Amino acid sequence: MMDKQNYSSEHLLETYAFLTKELLKFSDSRDRDMDIVEDLLQQREKIQKMLEETEDKSDYLKTDFAQATLKEIARQSKIIFLNLQTGLNFMKRSRRVSGAYEGEYGDKPRRQRLEVKT
């Protein structure tokens, strides 16, 4: 990870865009590795803080290219959020289905099977 040195706004924005793109890949995968996703989110947060500190010192973030990059990052961030939300919903649903088969309290079945006498 980057130390707190004097990085240019251009370098920080490029790094932030790269981390966002990587996060998009990992958030979209069916086999999400949440440790990697969490690490990427933390790295991105650090870069964002560094960008906020340099924002007033640089005109780069006001250029058309930087603004287009920021719009693309915002678009990708929305997709990342939706991907992670979908993954969370899938995990919750899987846990409910698994709980229904196993019963709420471990190995005890939730319902007794009715036997039909003929």
CA distances from 57 to 4, 13, 14, 46, 104 (A): 16, 14, 17, 18, 57
- Report the pLDDT averaged over residues 64-77: 96
Q: Quick check: 47 and 20 in contact, CB under 8 A?
A: no
The per-residue pLDDT of the chain, averaged, comes to 82
Among candidate residues 40, 26, 42, 43, the one with its CA nearest the CA of residue 79: 26
Checking if the pLDDT of 53 tops 60, the result is yes
Residue 4 has pLDDT above 60, yes or no: no
Contacts of residue 57, defined as CB under 8 A and 6 or more positions apart, other chains included, come to 9
Rounded average pLDDT over 44-62: 86
Residue reference for tokens 């991907």 = 83
pTM for the model: 0.72
- 33-39's contacts with Cβ under 8 Å and 24+ in sequence apart are 37/84
